[in-house]
A and B are shown apart, each in its own frame.
Chain A
């Protein structure tokens, strides 16, 4: 009883005490805010700088009186040194190898993600996930020689002599293996993020595990899986070392995966590796290729984003 009266008194005196509600300077807050802002600006600035530099140098290429957009987009032979400017000779190889890579990595990556998130026991997951992530840590040059010296001979024994020593098929397959952990791990995150309550709803309706995983959880996770696909495509289109080693050197307009052909990145790597005189048409053409690569990635990203938005099921 005594204590209560005491407390009441303190409270009373407190309510009469003056307090200050004026704005206070919080230095720590503003420093961190500024740093975060600068970090954000920096990444945007770097992107703009790259695009600017690409555009500037590519302009030199397109301003050459011999180069026309008609030749660039309308022909299929690439040899700037002798006046052949058909970009499709390089784009075709990029498309073929990337397509094969996604064809391999998307189904396998999704399947392993579904297994890891829906089926694997805690113990199985804790063993399998790190193993999968090791795949992501292998240098791409190793993958390149793996394609050339291991996968190609195997394919040769299956397909026969039509398969060239350097070919897009083997490079694409190995590129798919390289992207696999990326797609798998991002998709698994997306699947795991689907609320448990949705799975429970499905099970309570008498759904089996497969029905729940494929018809409820998977569609709900589609936006995250789409993000995985987009990053996967970007990796495939931009991958250089594997295709440089295993796909072939020399532009070749072909959609036959058994052929040797050079991708846009592979071509840039090979040409820029030699001695190249500044301001030569070979030099500026590299920037045109790079700009084209940039646009291609952008377009593929937009297409996949559109597909995902079309089919995703939004929870929340």
Chain B
């Protein structure tokens, strides 16, 4: 195998002005696995996730040091186009944010701007099927995406991300705004998707991390309020015999 890891960071630090929000993260993410990032509020989970596809570029004063390697290319190198990075690393957000367009157009738009030349109808159907949404929306593709329920909207957001064929899908608490049944469907969907994609998910919900992920990164802030990954291992191990005392305290619910 040429690239053993889907994405890999070396001493990745994220700064807002002079304040360091996330410090020295070095993780190697396995391809076609689900990696969960957990930790207490404010420890920089979302900040780290958004750094992975350069969404932090839009935050004024934010800059990143260290290395982030995708197929051997440093995503923060001078020659890298962030637009191209985001085409390879898609993102699903906390609150479903479909475009105020039709269901069909939500998927077709991304494909079109990414230069898709094939049969659009087929792509739309295939993406919706992959997101387990096709049967629910096939008769109303021209209706506004806002007519869908929250859980359906979130699956539509996943479908449109799949449509541009990324390598990695980032999910920022994708189920935190959803009811338990919708949450379960998203988790089932993740298991399907990992056959083809690498998934990195930030979650507040430890049960979710425990049941849905293969690997878990535990984050915590240090005395300077900088977040960092204190333990990164197989999910099984993190939740049964963590090597760090702080991880143990957190996953057993002693704090956080």
Using a CB–CB distance below 8 Å, which chain A residues touch chain B? 122, 195, 197-208, 211, 215-216, 219-220, 313-316
Q: Are A216 and B110 in contact (CB under 8 A)?
A: no
Q: Are A220 and B100 in contact (CB under 8 A)?
A: yes
Closest to B110 in A: A205
Query: Measured between C-beta atoms, what is the minimum distance from A142 to chain B in Å?
Result: 39
- Binary A-proximity of B83-122 (CB < 8 A = 1, otherwise 0): 1101100110101011111000000011001100000000
Neighbouring B residues of A216 by C-beta, 8 Å:
99
Neighbouring A residues of B110 by C-beta, 8 Å:
205-207
List 11 additional A-B contacts (Cβ < 8 Å) besides A122-B60, A204-B91.
Answer: A197-B95, A197-B97, A198-B100, A200-B93, A201-B97, A201-B98, A201-B99, A203-B58, A204-B90, A207-B83, A314-B146
Query: Measured between C-beta atoms, what is the minimum distance from A226 to chain B in Å?
Result: 15
Q: Which 7 A-B pairs have the closest CB atoms?
A: A206-B87, A313-B100, A204-B91, A205-B110, A197-B97, A315-B100, A201-B97
Neighbouring B residues of A204 by C-beta, 8 Å:
53, 55, 86, 90-91, 93, 161
Q: Are B86 and A198 in contact (CB under 8 A)?
A: no
Query: Measured between C-beta atoms, what is the minimum distance from B211 to chain A in Å?
Result: 26
Q: Known: A198-B97, A313-B101. Contact between A206 and B146, CB under 8 A?
A: no
Tell yes or no: B144 within 8 A of A by CB.
yes
Tell yes or no: B155 within 8 A of A by CB.
no
Q: Are B86 and A205 in contact (CB under 8 A)?
A: yes
Neighbouring A residues of B70 by C-beta, 8 Å:
none
Query: Measured between C-beta atoms, what is the minimum distance from B44 to chain A in Å?
Result: 18
Closest to B98 in A: A201
Query: Measured between C-beta atoms, what is the minimum distance from A209 to chain B in Å?
Result: 9
Tell yes or no: B51 within 8 A of A by CB.
no
Neighbouring A residues of B98 by C-beta, 8 Å:
201
Closest to B86 in A: A206
Neighbouring A residues of B95 by C-beta, 8 Å:
197
> How many residues does chain B have at the interface if contact means C-beta atoms less than 8 Å apart?
27
In Å, the complex CA distance between A199 and B97 comes to 9
Neighbouring A residues of B83 by C-beta, 8 Å:
206-208
Tell yes or no: B33 within 8 A of A by CB.
no
Neighbouring B residues of A313 by C-beta, 8 Å:
99-101
Q: Are B84 and A205 in contact (CB under 8 A)?
A: no
Tell yes or no: B220 within 8 A of A by CB.
no
Query: Measured between C-beta atoms, what is the minimum distance from A102 to chain B in Å?
Result: 26
In Å, the complex CA distance between A203 and B100 comes to 15
Tell yes or no: B164 within 8 A of A by CB.
yes
Q: Known: A200-B55, A215-B109, A316-B146. Contact between A205 and B97, CB under 8 A?
A: no
In Å, the complex CA distance between A236 and B78 comes to 50
Q: Are B114 and A206 in contact (CB under 8 A)?
A: yes
Tell yes or no: B229 within 8 A of A by CB.
no
Neighbouring A residues of B113 by C-beta, 8 Å:
205-208, 211, 215
In Å, the complex CA distance between A216 and B105 comes to 11
In Å, the complex CA distance between A240 and B97 comes to 46
Neighbouring B residues of A201 by C-beta, 8 Å:
93, 97-99, 157
Neighbouring A residues of B58 by C-beta, 8 Å:
199-200, 203
Closest to B109 in A: A215
Q: Are A202 and B53 in contact (CB under 8 A)?
A: no
- Binary A-proximity of B190-233 (CB < 8 A = 1, otherwise 0): 00000000000000000000000000000000000000000000
Neighbouring A residues of B84 by C-beta, 8 Å:
206
Neighbouring A residues of B23 by C-beta, 8 Å:
none
Q: Are A205 and B161 in contact (CB under 8 A)?
A: yes
In Å, the complex CA distance between A207 and B82 comes to 10
Closest to A204 in B: B91
Tell yes or no: B45 within 8 A of A by CB.
no
Which of B91, B93, B97 has the most CB atoms of chain A within a 10 A radius of its CB?
Answer: B97
